[in-house]
Amino acid sequence: MTMNHSNACTFFLTGTAMVVLPVVAPSLCPNNGFDGTSARELWLQVMGLINASIGTGYFLRTGWKSLATALEVRLARSVPRAVKAYALPRNTVGSVSNR
């Protein structure tokens, strides 16, 4: 299976929810570590950041491709088309050029 817009949205929304969850519901992440921190909170924040980054990376990549294509089309339209050039006749040896 390949990444598509709906998968990227799911990664981004799940990651965002995981980062916000310890702030919204602190009772789910008790501070019972020896230094007063919560391993659950740290895990949710790190994994949430990774998930949100995967979704954001997909959107940035597809957006970059669209931007590059749009700029290429705009540049192609702005460059003037080649004009047909005609060669001037050469002077032959000994002839007098017109001044």
The candidate with the shortest Cα–Cα distance to 60, out of 14, 97, 11, is 11
pLDDT in tens, 18-63: 999 988 988 888 888 778 788 899 999 999 999 999 999 999 998 8
Element (H, E) at 66: helix 39-78
Short-list 4, 1, 23, CA closest to 12: 4
What does the pLDDT read at residue 92? 63
Q: Which two tokens stand for residue 79?
A: 């460059």
pTM over 0.85: no
End-to-end CA distance of the chain: 75
Answer yes or no: is pLDDT of 13 > 80: yes
22/29 Cα distance (integer angstroms): 6
